[in-house]
Amino acid sequence: MLIRHRPKLMKVQEALVFHESAREGSNHGVSLGISKGHVAQIIPGIEGKLVEAQAQLDEQTIKSGSFYLPCNSTTERASNKRKHLDFLQTWSFDNLEEPCIIAGDFSMSNSALGLLLKRYNTGYSVFDFSGSIESFFGNGDKTWSCIDHIIVNEAAKGLFSNARVNRGYNISDHWQILGSVFSSRKQAHKNMTNLEDTSNMEADEIAATFVETSKKNAVDLTLYKASNRKPKRFYLTQSILKEIRAKDLASAEWNKATESMNPSKKVKKLYLAFSKKSKEVKELIQTFNCNRWAKFLDKGAKIVAIQNGRDHKSGDIMGNSRNPDRWIEVLGIKKDNPLDINQDISWDEVRMILMSLVRHKAPDGDGLEVGWYKILFNDYGVYCPESPMAKALLNIFQTIWKNGKIPKV
């Protein structure tokens, strides 16, 4: 059964904003707001997750829709293909140049949906903001049971050419304003203004609030361009990539020579060239990463790799990464004393902590759970640590907390 609610329409400074009410009590459903300068999507039922994308929209009216298709098995997913196509037909406009954006749950993977749209020549294609949709919207079991699809026609695809996505942004940080304009649900244990309440607001107040918030979000969210490329290659400079290609060529020559089983001086020369190039590339990347980290930290703080033994540690340095007591142990925090980190912290410990943050994304979207942050900063007096690595670690946490971005390690 196809459930679709009639959208509400509101005029905001000559920009059309559509409000789609979500299906209450379910992760299925989507609220989609579209204006001439911004596209915002709030996913009800999935706490603390907001995707906001900036796009340059033209003067045309943008049509949007939300839907819910119940689907609990592979058989049902197959039988729903016809329903999907029937639904798309309702959005097939006479003028295909008119932009159309549809968000919802098709209960199938992006690749399967893309093939379906292409096979029946619908004029739509799947738009993937993040390059790994199910890891952002998904519930971990890969059943595709949550909102994770955005499909667009060719006219709308150009609107997202400069799209930026913020993974797991915590809506509660701006709940008052965003709630008054977009949301009809409770998020992050805070009472949000119902969508119907906007009718009691003055038109000028709504317009000013929406425009002000849009500008603020564009700066504060530190949105970044999504990419399917591997992170390490994505951040490396062209000069280092050139050296990596040279190393790969040296490796190919070495493998070719060894295959011939020719123990000549040429083989030894090729091996030495390969070893030298590998070492040079490794040093280049280490230097590059060090410089990049220095730029990431506040006030130009430098990371000093302090070598110390890890015989007292085993496995993941975080242990249970959601256990605040482990953070107290790693960072040397005394419950009865203010936070005064003077002991050395190795680069390996810092790296493992950040890797753990990436693996266990916290609900607040900035990768640092509220409880951890309170233990690290709010519930203790923070003194300036003497250890260079401890200073770097505090700077890292403070920067993550501010911009919601965990740096690559």
Residues 362 and 259 in one domain: no
> To 10 degrees, what angle do helices 388-403 and 347-359 make?
20
40 within a domain of the structure (yes/no): yes
Longest CA–CA separation in the chain, Å: 87
Residues 15 and 81 in one domain: yes
Residues 128/110, Cβ–Cβ less than 8 Å: yes
3 within a domain of the structure (yes/no): no
269 within a domain of the structure (yes/no): yes
The whole-number pLDDT of residue 208 equals 52
Indicate the helix (H) or strand (E) that contains 256. Answer: helix 238-259
Distance CA 52, CA 130 (A): 12
Residues 44 and 160 in one domain: yes
Residues 176 and 34 in one domain: yes
The whole-number pLDDT of residue 117 equals 78
Strand 38-42, strand 31-34: pairing: antiparallel
Tell me which of 268, 293, 325 is where a domain ends.
325
Tell me which of 152, 187, 222 is where a domain ends.
187
Exposure string of 214-245, with b = 16+ CB inside 10 Å and e = fewer, is: beebeebbebeebeeeeeeeeebeeebeebbe
- Of residues 168, 172, 169, 167, the one with CA closest to residue 187: 172
- Count the residues in the chain: 409
DSSP per-residue string spanning 179-244 = HHHT--S-BTTBPPPPGGGGGGS-HHHHHHHHHHHHHHHHHHT--B----S-HHHHHS-HHHHHHH
> Averaged in consecutive runs of 10 residues, what is the pLDDT profile of the chain (409 residues)?
36 30 31 32 30 29 42 52 62 53 62 76 67 34 42 63 34 26 29 36 50 44 30 48 65 60 60 69 66 47 33 34 49 44 52 59 43 44 48 61 59
Residues 253 and 342 in one domain: no
Residues 35 and 136 in one domain: yes
387 within a domain of the structure (yes/no): yes
What is the extent of the structural domain holding 272? 245-325
Residues 350 and 321 in one domain: no
Residues 345/329, Cβ–Cβ less than 8 Å: no
The whole-number pLDDT of residue 354 equals 62
Residues 370/376, Cβ–Cβ less than 8 Å: no
Structural domains of the chain, count? 3
Residues 346 and 312 in one domain: no
The whole-number pLDDT of residue 7 equals 35
Residues 108 and 180 in one domain: yes
Q: Which tokens belong to 203? A: 């038109």
DSSP state of 300: G
Q: What angle do CA 5, 6, 10 make, to 5 degrees?
A: 130
The whole-number pLDDT of residue 40 equals 34
Residues 139 and 57 in one domain: yes
CA atoms within 13 A on the CB side of 166: 28
- Of residues 258, 260, 279, 282, the one with CA closest to residue 270: 258
The pTM of this model reads 0.28
219 within a domain of the structure (yes/no): no
Exposure string of 389-401, with b = 16+ CB inside 10 Å and e = fewer, is: bbbbbbbbbbbbb
Tell me which of 187, 205, 236 is where a domain ends.
187
Q: Which amino acid is at 198?
A: T
Residue 175 maps to which CATH number? Answer: 3.60.10.10
Residues 173 and 50 in one domain: yes
Residues 349/303, Cβ–Cβ less than 8 Å: no
276 within a domain of the structure (yes/no): yes
Residues 295 and 398 in one domain: no
DSSP per-residue string spanning 353-402 = HHHHHHHS--TTSSSS-HHHHIIIIITSPBPPPSSHHHHHHHHHHHHHHH
164 within a domain of the structure (yes/no): yes
Q: Give me the helices (H) in 34-132, please.
A: 74-79, 81-89, 110-119
109 within a domain of the structure (yes/no): yes
Residue indicated by tokens 């605040």: 324
